[in-house]
Structure 1
Amino acid sequence: MKIKVIVLLISISFMSNAFAKTDKNKTTTMIQTDSLLRHTVFFKFKEGTTAEQIKKVEDAFSALPSKIEQIKGYEWGLNNSPEGLNKGFTHAFFLTFKSEEDRAIYLPHPDHKAFGAVLTPFLDDVFVVDYWTKQ
């Protein structure tokens, strides 16, 4: 019986830590030596955007890794899922960073902002998901 109580108390302790709220005034920077930060970006283009205009966006995004040294990895591709659940999003871009600091340099970087100026006239919608993954 004592063992069950101890196991229960330890379980409650772990669960309370898992759901603990953090102080919103504190910022936490995550740098994980065995992990990589993935920054995923998905585009849906406006109706009527030409293949030439889309190619211009693809080329501009693909040029960023050569301009921004914090980008440690890059790949992109077109949706080809047979499920039909892409909701009009056609392009997926995956950038890799070693730290949140590197991503923080990338986001306001002048070359990233210049890419935004190329993209914006043709963009209908975008969504971004960032996550840590093992190397």
Structure 2
Amino acid sequence: MKTRYLFVLLLTAACQQAPKEVIKEEKIIEKKIVMDKALRHVVLFKFKDSSPQAEVDKVVEAFMALSDKIDVIQSLEWGTNNSPEGLAQGFTHCFLVTFASEADRDTYLPHPEHKAFVEVLGPHLDKVLVVDYWATK
């Protein structure tokens, strides 16, 4: 009798619904899939050797502030080169801007806040490389 009761108890526990945390995890994955259908705008900077680090930091801060000033920017991230391959050709800073559409990117490029950022950048810029692509899996 005890064995039968234990079996029924285990069977009932096994039939319980999955915890809500799993559902949240599925939603996060679903959101990521939607985000990957986006236009990526990759910007690489090579700064002048004469630019002090404090000025380079101001350029980074000004670029990152664009996400709060231009609403068509879906996301914005940056980092410095960390490749061991020695192929960076002097480019040290990479920025990744995500847009939902080409129209959004076309709004961003001539935007007054973007133009103001370019003015901050200009005196310190040696080279720039820009690549835009549609993210695909």
Give the TM-score band, short-chain normalised.
0.7 to 0.9
Percent of aligned positions that are identical:
57
Aligned to 1:102: 104
Q: 1:65 & 1:118 partners in 2: Cα distance?
A: 16
Report which of the two structures shows the higher radius of gyration computed on alpha carbons: 2
**What do the CA deviations read for 1:75-106 (whole angstroms, capped 9, x no partner)?**
10000111110000000000000000000000
**What do the CA deviations read for 1:19-68 (whole angstroms, capped 9, x no partner)?**
xxxxxxxxxxxxxx971000000000011111100001000000000000
Aligned to 1:62: 64
Alignment root-mean-square deviation, CA = 1.7
Q: Which amino acid aligns with 1:42?
A: L
Q: Give the TM-score, by structure 2 length.
A: 0.73
Q: 1:48 & 1:58 partners in 2: Cα distance?
A: 17
Of 69, 74, 77, the match for 2:76:
74
In the alignment of these two chains, the number of paired residues is 104
Aligned to 2:117: 115
Q: 1:68 & 1:34 partners in 2: Cα distance?
A: 20
Q: Give the TM-score, by structure 1 length.
A: 0.74
Q: 1:75 & 1:63 partners in 2: Cα distance?
A: 11
Q: 1:60 & 1:90 partners in 2: Cα distance?
A: 17
SS of 2:103's partner is: helix
Of 32, 42, 49, the match for 2:44:
42
SS of 2:71's partner is: coil
Q: 1:69 & 1:34 partners in 2: Cα distance?
A: 19
Higher normalized helix content (fraction of residues): 2
